[in-house]
């Protein structure tokens, strides 16, 4: 089957913009729920404590308060949230309970839920809940903390190689705790119909089907009795949508009290309750030949996952273990990531989980080695970059849950050379390490791969309505990435009809039978491919229907736009058919790997440590471009998030496990003036071999190499100080301190590389 | 009993009849049902709640509804008609200056005020003015492009209209 | 983060506002722009039972140029200062500093009085007030009194204002056109609170020697202040790189803020030294 390829690949303007630009979106807090009660969660202010008593009597007496839910209402059976991905028996003890039972384990853990006539009245009553807690010792650092599980990626025999290699170098690296921080906080609205025994929950995102299954089980309801509906969603980035305590507590309260319940998270609680990310610290080693050929790479990492294993808490450790070598030919790899339990907010996925960290470690080691061996950064990489004829190339073996996967196809040199050309790499080399108008200039570059198109399946259902419009139902979730438009483009090209004829419905459990959702850069690949399949089936149904009316064979029918034309030439318009619907499930067990290169030019003010990113360039091959506008938007957005992670963002805790970022004045997000120059180009020269679109998942590539590229650029700029920017974030103070330490240690080099 | 104060929202006279502690943002969203104005932080940092009060861009989470007495309030809903997007909104769409759309209303109102008050604003000035609006999705480049393009188009349109 | 409950009054005159404060059993707060107070209340760090809104009191608005001083009403907003064309010549340092305050939307609401009452040691307006020897006119039950800035601002978030008093005006000495000046701040992002900032102005006599030097700093002590030691090094001397570096070092030595979440003491010392040097360079370039 071939697609007409008119909308696919184009700069199709988004359908969802028409309502979003007018302020006519419907996000969860916009939903009016007549007769509802408002829920506000009381959260622990201790990092680790035993709950001695909870007295809700005073709170219940406060104006407008109707009920207060505590663990007692669960009658000794507090459900624990299962892992959605990579479940393993060793992780079961660390599952998060939906409400604190006898113990709180992080600041922000839910202790009670107040239900009142308004959110304000519920909040007023919080301080009336008397909770007596007995403080317990706090595990504030991952270093010696209890282990949940350890992932390891192994290829060859790295230890043996380190013993004999010409050049071996070690270094320690640290990627700070970050948070996805979508602009919309979480929210839920639950309605229980006691008569029909039907629960409807609004505010789902990302993985509505999995959450429906988890919730149904927790409430002891059949899946058919639970409906999760996705509305407009204000960003996700891997964080929003996973099953968290409130996803149980709000529906539970709705059923218990027979009233609709609305919950809107505020920003203060989002910072402590919504899932954090990254927080990986490692010791790493690289072994090379004198000519820069990388022989072995090893890393031993600790991941501070916080107090509990959330639904996807393993992913970053697992990806770090698996993807340390990136797109390079490294025969011997041993990467381990140990997940440790501390008394902090639990972590999970955030764009490029584990890969952002892995690329930082690897690319830093590459530049350290290049410098030590007297090679330039570009040559070092081309010496080790996989060639097209070496693909497919298997990833290291992964344990304890194996996954057999390989880099599929591509020309990593093409994107690398294009990236170099775009930033003007060769011409700008004379700036490296030079002081110009009070600032040191530096450039760096790096290559990356992005794993996407995660299986196993996705559903789509297309319905031809009597008015001739076609409804496209997908299991994929919209989180702001333009899903509606992309799916409509794919369907529109399949039918060769204008995009206005299509309406896309997404992410709700009512849409398709077995959706999976949007994560791991899978929506376009999986959902889009399911749409392609369902479109073909619907076309087949139309042909069959037309054939039976025209008295011919379905193969005799030709579909031309919105008409089915039989051999006698009398077209039957789609509007003449009764409602027809077709479903399809796209199955896939092979990840896709889009890939590319990024480069940066920075200028560092040595007196303040401030780093200005003068130019940032990215080139990525995504297999097939479906919507050029939205793809570009994903790249720029991801890169800026990556830059925020390198320079600004830090979820910090003190030694007592107290969260030190309580507002957006403390968790610093990038703004318009921070990174004004970002340039990104997409290629589509190597379509994915595993799906009818040829598309590769492409929403996360932009963020993955940023930390490595920037820290290398800073190191290049400050070459005369021999600094090693191995600890993120590179705040101005940290950069300044690196320079001071270097001065102190007398390690300042003259530009020719001689130690002074 | 709450005192009732008059105000005007998107050209329509309404009564502010809420508790003093109700922010302008919550009054607009929940009392008037104008949910286009979004609340992203409730402490005056993110800018998603920006509306125009007597023409000036203000954070509606940092204003009490009662403080809007006798003011002219314009929200994102008041920036365009049912028939067409405003030129600024159309530029946003062309430039893909929104993804999840949550911060967008606050950026539109802010940009609207800027365009009206500083029709010759430079790209640098656009960045500076929008630095009080946080977007997590777009990385800002398309937003700045959209506003700069709208300013340019507006200047060209004025140029054509001049005798 | 809904606000705690409170009563709200919107007096039309300063006298009315004062009597509301006097009658409120010490649990009232004055609100003008609310850009600082409302976030504090949203975090429930303050829960006054009465808010007295002085935003529409006419006698608290206005920027008046008097023979020997500038009088700025407490309810004057940042946008009023930035939009007043007279101030480009009448007080360029003030306009430059206020341009750094927060963000565009905040500048449409935040006020001079609000900033002074909040007394953040890193804020721009208190820093300019310190650097320019400002005085504050305070209205209270006993009438008005004028207090020099150094006596008004006692320490971080602490002023001499009692719960029954309202800031009425800020007075700045008239600016002289021959003054050279610069306002420089260092913040993580545009609009963030300064980690350190300098408001510098001075004269040069006919022989090119520095005179009447004012080195005002923000964010590095528990209050914005002039660094006398730095001024003493500069006054009476011809500027040179070594001289300015010595003054910068004196400013660095004066830093007494401990390490905090935003910056270490050592880093603040380095910052203020750089800012003093660069402010001086900028001021020199500005001079005729």
- Per the listing, tokens 């969660």 go with A41
Q: What mean pLDDT is predicted for residues C112-122?
A: 97
Which residues from B are below 8 Å from A29, CB to CB? 29, 35, 39
How does strand B12-16 pair with strand A49-55? unpaired
pLDDT of A265 above 50:
yes
Say yes or no for a CB contact (<8 Å) between B21 and C3: yes
| B133 in reach of chain A (CB within 8 A) | yes
User: Measured between CB atoms, which of A25, A629, A669 is closest to B96?
Assistant: A629
User: Measured between CB atoms, which of C43, C189, C266 is closest to A668?
Assistant: C189
To the nearest whole angstrom, how far is the Cα of A670 from the nearest Cα of chain B? Answer: 7
pLDDT one-digit tens code per residue, C47-98: 999 999 999 999 999 999 999 999 999 999 999 999 999 999 999 999 999 9
Q: What is the pLDDT of residue C71?
A: 98
Which residues from C are below 8 Å from B63, CB to CB? 34, 38, 109
Among residues B36, B56, B78, the one where a domain terminates is B78
CA distance B114 to B151: 9
Among C33, C39, C103, the residue to mutate for chain B (most B Cβ within 10 A) = C103
Which residues from C are below 8 Å from B47, CB to CB? 103, 105
Say yes or no for a CB contact (<8 Å) between C106 and B56: no
pLDDT one-digit tens code per residue, A386-425: 999 999 999 999 999 999 999 999 999 999 999 999 999 9
Among B34, B99, B105, the residue to mutate for chain A (most A Cβ within 10 A) = B99
To the nearest whole angstrom, how far is the Cα of A236 from the nearest Cα of chain B? Answer: 9
User: Which top CATH class is A454-587?
Assistant: alpha beta
Residues B92 and B153 occupy one common structural domain: yes
The conformation of residue B77, written as its DSSP 8-state character, comes to G
A454 half-sphere exposure, CB direction, 13 A CA radius: 16
What percentage of chain A exceeds 70 in pLDDT?
Answer: 98
Q: What is the pLDDT of residue C286?
A: 86
CA distance C108 to C93: 20
Q: Are A623 and A686 in contact (CB under 8 A)?
A: yes
Residues of C within an 8 Å Cβ radius of A: 1-5, 39, 43, 186, 188-193, 261, 263-264, 266-267, 270-271, 274
Say yes or no for a CB contact (<8 Å) between B102 and A184: yes
Q: What is the pLDDT of residue A476?
A: 86
Task: Confirm whether the ipTM is greater than 0.95.
Answer: yes
Burial C28-49 (b: 16+ CB within 10 A, else e): bbbbbbbbbbbbebbebeeebe
pLDDT of C288 above 60:
no
A312 half-sphere exposure, CB direction, 13 A CA radius: 25
Say yes or no for a CB contact (<8 Å) between B138 and A670: no
Classify B7 as helix, strand or coil: strand
Classify A106 as helix, strand or coil: coil
Question: C147, C126, C139, C133: which is closest to C222 by C-alpha?
Answer: C126
pLDDT one-digit tens code per residue, A357-397: 999 999 999 999 999 999 999 999 999 999 999 999 999 99
User: Which top CATH class is A35-137?
Assistant: alpha beta
Q: Which residues contact C246 (CB under 8 A, 6 or more apart)?
A: C233
Residues C217 and C128 occupy one common structural domain: no
Which chain C residue lies closest to A269 (C-alpha atoms)? Answer: C1
User: Measured between CB atoms, which of B53, B61, B110 is closest to C104?
Assistant: B110
Say yes or no for a CB contact (<8 Å) between B66 and C10: yes
A669 half-sphere exposure, CB direction, 13 A CA radius: 27
CA distance A1 to A3: 7
Residue C30 has φ and ψ, to the nearest 5°, of -85, 140
How does strand A678-683 pair with strand A558-560? unpaired
Residues C64 and C134 occupy one common structural domain: yes
Query: Lowest mean pLDDT: which of A219-228, A381-390, A485-494, A738-747?
Result: A738-747
A524 half-sphere exposure, CB direction, 13 A CA radius: 31
Residues C1 and C81 occupy one common structural domain: yes
Number of domains composing chain B: 2
Which residues from B are below 8 Å from C105, CB to CB? 47, 50, 57-59, 110, 132
| B87 in reach of chain A (CB within 8 A) | no
Subunits adjacent to chain A (3 or more Cβ pairs under 8 Å): B, C
How does strand C50-53 pair with strand C7-9? parallel
Q: Where are the alpha helices (DSSP H) in chain C?
A: 14-22, 37-42, 78-83, 87-90, 92-98, 104-107, 112-118, 124-131, 149-152, 228-234, 241-253, 265-286
pLDDT one-digit tens code per residue, A64-116: 999 999 999 998 799 999 999 999 999 999 999 999 999 999 999 999 999 99
Residues C192 and C106 occupy one common structural domain: no
Q: Which residues contact C280 (CB under 8 A, 6 or more apart)?
A: C182, C200, C239, C244, C247
| B122 in reach of chain A (CB within 8 A) | no
Residues C119 and C185 occupy one common structural domain: no
User: Which top CATH class is A276-453+591-744?
Assistant: alpha beta
Q: What is the pLDDT of residue A201?
A: 98
Burial A553-564 (b: 16+ CB within 10 A, else e): ebeebebeebbb
Residues C90 and C113 occupy one common structural domain: yes
- At A4, the pLDDT band (50, 70, 90 cuts) reads low
Residue-averaged pLDDT of chain C: 96
Domain residue ranges of chain A, discontinuous segments joined by +? 35-137, 276-453+591-744, 454-587
- Residue A740: exposed, middle, or buried by beta-carbon count in 10 A (0-12, 13-18, 19+)? middle
CA distance C267 to A732: 9
Which residues from C are below 8 Å from A648, CB to CB? 188-189
Among residues C126, C160, C175, the one where a domain terminates is C175
Subunits adjacent to chain B (3 or more Cβ pairs under 8 Å): A, C
pLDDT of A1 above 60:
no
CA distance C51 to C166: 13
Residues B146 and B119 occupy one common structural domain: yes
Residues of B within an 8 Å Cβ radius of C: 19-21, 23, 26, 42-44, 47, 50, 53, 56-59, 61-64, 66-67, 69, 110, 114, 128-132
Domain carrying residue C39: 1-175
To the nearest whole angstrom, how far is the Cα of C215 from the nearest Cα of chain A? Answer: 20
pLDDT of A275 above 70:
yes
* Beta strand extents in A635-741 (DSSP E only): 678-683
Q: Are A231 and A202 in contact (CB under 8 A)?
A: yes
Residues C31 and C60 occupy one common structural domain: yes
Say yes or no for a CB contact (<8 Å) between A663 and C263: no
To the nearest whole angstrom, how far is the Cα of A727 from the nearest Cα of chain C? Answer: 17
CA distance A708 to A351: 15
- At C287, the pLDDT band (50, 70, 90 cuts) reads low
Domain carrying residue B97: 87-161
To the nearest whole angstrom, how far is the Cα of A267 from the nearest Cα of chain B? Answer: 5
Q: What mean pLDDT is predicted for residues A302-312?
A: 98
Q: Are C243 and C218 in contact (CB under 8 A)?
A: no
- Residue A686: exposed, middle, or buried by beta-carbon count in 10 A (0-12, 13-18, 19+)? buried
Say yes or no for a CB contact (<8 Å) between B57 and C104: yes
What's B32's domain CATH number?
3.10.20.30
Residue-averaged pLDDT of chain B: 96
How does strand C63-65 pair with strand C69-73? antiparallel
Which residues from C are below 8 Å from B129, CB to CB? 104
**Residue B3 backbone zone (phi > 0: left; psi -120 to 50: alpha; other: beta):** beta
pLDDT one-digit tens code per residue, A556-565: 999 998 899 9
What percentage of chain C exceeds 70 in pLDDT?
Answer: 99
| C190 in reach of chain B (CB within 8 A) | yes
A350 half-sphere exposure, CB direction, 13 A CA radius: 24
pLDDT of B97 above 50:
yes
Number of domains composing chain C: 2
- Going across the sheet that includes C210-218, the strands are C180-186, C196-204, C210-218, C225-226
- Residue B2: exposed, middle, or buried by beta-carbon count in 10 A (0-12, 13-18, 19+)? middle
> Is the preceding peptide bond at A91 cis, omega within 30 degrees of 0?
no
Residue C233 has φ and ψ, to the nearest 5°, of -65, -35
CA distance B124 to C253: 36
Range with top average pLDDT, A222-226, A514-518, A688-692: A222-226
| B116 in reach of chain A (CB within 8 A) | no
Which chain A residue lies closest to C262 (C-alpha atoms)? Answer: A666
pLDDT one-digit tens code per residue, B123-143: 999 999 999 999 999 999 999
What's C60's domain CATH number?
3.30.465.10
User: Measured between CB atoms, which of C186, C188, C274 is closest to A668?
Assistant: C188
Among residues C175, C194, C210, the one where a domain terminates is C175
Among residues C175, C202, C219, the one where a domain terminates is C175
Residues of A within an 8 Å Cβ radius of C: 119-120, 123-124, 266-268, 607-610, 648, 652, 660, 662-663, 665-666, 668, 670-671, 673-674, 731-733, 736-737, 740
Say yes or no for a CB contact (<8 Å) between B62 and C109: yes
Partners of A294 in beta bridges: A288
Question: The pTM is what?
Answer: 0.97
What percentage of chain A exceeds 90 in pLDDT?
Answer: 88
How does strand C210-218 pair with strand A226-230? unpaired
Residues C2 and C116 occupy one common structural domain: yes
CA distance A357 to A299: 11
Say yes or no for a CB contact (<8 Å) between A665 and B128: no
Q: What is the pLDDT of residue A754?
A: 34
User: Measured between CB atoms, which of B43, B67, B114 is closest to C43?
Assistant: B43
Hey, do A35-137 and A454-587 end up sharing a CATH topology, with the first three levels equal?
no
Subunits adjacent to chain C (3 or more Cβ pairs under 8 Å): A, B
Q: Residue A459, Cα to own-chain centre: how many angstroms?
A: 21
CA distance A309 to A287: 34
| Number of CB pairs, chain A paired with chain C, less than 8 A apart | 52
Say yes or no for a CB contact (<8 Å) between B23 and C35: no
pLDDT of A756 above 50:
no
């Amino acid at each position: 089957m071939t697609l007409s390829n008119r909308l696919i690949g184009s700069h199709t303007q988004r359908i969802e913009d028409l309502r979003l630009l007018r302020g006519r979106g419907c996000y969860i807090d916009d939903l009016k729920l007549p007769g509802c009660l408002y829920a506000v969660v009381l959260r622990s202010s201790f990092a680790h404590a035993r709950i001695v008593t909870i007295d809700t009597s005073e709170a219940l007496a406060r104006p407008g308060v109707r009920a207060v839910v505590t663990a007692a209402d669960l009658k000794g059976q507090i459900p624990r949230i299962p892992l959605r991905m990579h479940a393993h028996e060793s992780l079961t003890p660390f599952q998060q309970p939906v409400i604190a039972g006898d113990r709180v384990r992080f600041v922000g853990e839910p202790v009670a839920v107040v239900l009142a006539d308004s959110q304000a009245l519920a909040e007023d009553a919080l301080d009336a809940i008397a909770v007596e807690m007995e403080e317990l010792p706090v595990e504030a650092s991952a270093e010696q903390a209890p282990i949940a599980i350890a992932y390891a990626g192994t290829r060859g025999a790295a230890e043996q190689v380190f013993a004999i290699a010409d050049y071996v170098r070690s270094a320690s690296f640290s990627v700070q705790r970050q948070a996805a921080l979508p602009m919309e906080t979480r929210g839920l609205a639950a309605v229980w119909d006691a008569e029909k025994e039907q629960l409807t929950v609004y505010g789902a995102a990302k993985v509505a089907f999995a959450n429906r299954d988890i919730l149904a089980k927790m409430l002891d309801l059949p899946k058919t009795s639970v409906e999760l509906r996705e509305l407009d969603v204000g960003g996700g980035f891997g964080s929003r949508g996973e099953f968290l305590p409130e996803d149980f507590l709000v529906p539970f309260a709705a059923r218990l009290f027979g009233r609709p319940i609305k919950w809107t998270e505020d920003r203060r609680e989002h910072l402590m309750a919504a899932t954090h990310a990254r927080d990986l610290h490692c010791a790493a080693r690289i072994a090379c030949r004198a000519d820069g050929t990388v022989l072995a790479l090893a890393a031993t990492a600790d991941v501070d996952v916080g107090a509990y294993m959330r639904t996807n808490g393993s992913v970053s450790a697992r990806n770090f273990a698996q993807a340390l070598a990136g797109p390079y030919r490294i025969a011997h790899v041993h990467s381990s990531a140990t997940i440790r339990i501390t008394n902090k907010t639990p972590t999970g996925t955030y764009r490029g989980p584990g890969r952002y960290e892995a690329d930082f470690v690897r690319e830093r080691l590459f530049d350290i080695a290049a410098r030590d061996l007297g090679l330039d950064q570009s040559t070092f990489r081309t010496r080790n970059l996989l060639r097209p004829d070496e693909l497919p190339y298997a990833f290291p073996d992964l344990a304890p849950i194996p996954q057999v996967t390989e880099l599929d196809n591509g020309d990593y040199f093409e994107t690398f050379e294009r990236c170099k050309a775009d930033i003007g790499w060769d011409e700008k080399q004379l700036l490296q390490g030079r002081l110009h108008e009070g600032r040191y200039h530096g450039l760096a570059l790096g290559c990356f791969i992005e794993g996407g198109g995660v299986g196993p399946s996705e559903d789509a259902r297309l319905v031809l309505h009597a008015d001739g419009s076609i409804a496209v139902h997908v299991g994929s979730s919209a989180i702001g990435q333009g899903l509606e438009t992309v799916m409509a483009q794919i369907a529109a090209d399949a039918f060769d009809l204008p995009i206005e004829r299509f309406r896309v419905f997404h992410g709700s459990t009512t849409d398709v039978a077995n959706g999976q959702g949007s994560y791991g850069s899978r929506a376009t690949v999986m959902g889009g491919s399911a749409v392609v399949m369902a479109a073909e089936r619907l076309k087949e149904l139309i042909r069959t229907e037309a054939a039976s009316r025209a008295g011919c064979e379905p193969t005799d029918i030709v579909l031309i736009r919105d008409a089915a034309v039989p051999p006698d030439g009398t077209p039957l318009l789609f509007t003449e058919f009764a409602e027809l619907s077709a479903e399809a499930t796209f199955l896939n067990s092979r990840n896709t790997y889009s890939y590319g290169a990024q480069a940066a030019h920075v200028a560092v003010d040595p007196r303040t440590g401030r780093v200005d990113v003068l130019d940032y360039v990215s080139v990525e091959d995504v297999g097939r471009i479906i919507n050029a506008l939205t793809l570009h938007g994903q790249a720029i957005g991801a890169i800026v998030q990556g830059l925020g992670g390198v320079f600004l963002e830090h979820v910090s805790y003190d030694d007592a496990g107290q969260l030190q970022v309580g507002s957006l004045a403390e968790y610093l997000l990038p703004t318009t003036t921070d990174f004004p120059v970002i340039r990104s180009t997409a290629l589509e020269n190597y379509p994915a071999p595993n799906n009818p679109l040829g598309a590769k998942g492409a929403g996360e590539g932009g963020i993955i190499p940023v930390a490595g590229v920037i820290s290398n650029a800073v190191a290049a700029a400050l070459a005369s100080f021999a600094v090693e920017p191995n600890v993120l974030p590179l705040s101005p103070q940290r950069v300044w301190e690196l320079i001071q330490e270097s001065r102190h240690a007398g390690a300042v080099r003259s530009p020719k590389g001689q130690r002074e | 009993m709450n005192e009732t104060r008059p105000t005007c929202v998107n050209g329509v006279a309404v009564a502010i009849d809420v508790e003093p502690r109700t922010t302008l943002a919550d009054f607009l969203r929940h009392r008037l049902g104008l949910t286009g104005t979004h609340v992203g932080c409730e402490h005056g940092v993110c800018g998603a709640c920006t509306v125009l009060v007597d023409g000036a861009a203000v954070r509606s989470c940092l204003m009490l509804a009662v403080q809007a007495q006798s003011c002219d309030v314009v929200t994102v809903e008041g920036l365009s008609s049912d028939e067409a997007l405003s030129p600024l909104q159309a530029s946003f769409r062309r430039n893909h200056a929104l993804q999840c759309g949550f911060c967008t209303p606050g950026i539109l109102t802010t940009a609207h005020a800027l365009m009206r008050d500083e029709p010759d604003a430079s790209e640098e000035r656009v960045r500076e003015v929008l630095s009080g609006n946080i977007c997590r999705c777009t990385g800002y480049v398309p937003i700045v492009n959209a506003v700069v393009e709208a300013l340019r188009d507006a200047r060209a349109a004025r140029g054509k209209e001049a005798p | 983060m809904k606000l705690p409950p409170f009563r709200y009054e919107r007096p039309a005159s300063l006298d009315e506002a004062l009597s509301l404060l006097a009658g409120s059993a010490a649990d009232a707060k004055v609100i003008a722009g609310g850009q600082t107070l409302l976030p504090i209340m949203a975090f429930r760090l303050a829960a006054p039972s009465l808010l007295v809104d002085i935003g529409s009191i006419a006698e608290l608005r206005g920027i008046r140029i008097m023979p020997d001083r500038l009088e700025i009403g407490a309810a004057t907003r940042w946008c009023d200062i930035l939009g007043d064309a007279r101030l480009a010549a009448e007080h360029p340092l003030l306009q430059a500093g206020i341009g750094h305050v927060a963000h565009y939307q905040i500048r449409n609401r935040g006020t001079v009085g609000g900033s002074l009452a909040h007394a953040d040691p890193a804020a721009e307006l208190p820093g300019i007030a310190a650097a320019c020897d400002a005085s504050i006119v305070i209205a209270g039950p006993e009438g008005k009194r004028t207090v020099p800035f150094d006596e008004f601002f006692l320490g971080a978030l602490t002023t001499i204002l009692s719960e029954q008093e309202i800031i009425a005006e800020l007075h700045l000495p008239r600016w002289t056109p021959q003054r050279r000046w610069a306002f420089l701040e260092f913040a993580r992002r545009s609009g963030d609170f300064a980690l350190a900032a300098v408001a510098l102005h001075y004269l040069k006599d006919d022989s090119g020697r520095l005179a009447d030097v004012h080195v005002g700093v923000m964010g590095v002590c528990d209050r914005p202040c002039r660094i006398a030691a730095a001024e003493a090094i500069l006054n009476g001397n011809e500027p040179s790189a070594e001289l300015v570096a010595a003054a910068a070092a004196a400013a660095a030595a004066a830093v007494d803020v401990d390490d905090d979440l935003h910056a270490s003491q050592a880093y603040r010392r380095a910052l203020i030294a750089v800012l003093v040097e660069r402010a001086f360079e900028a001021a020199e370039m500005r001079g005729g």
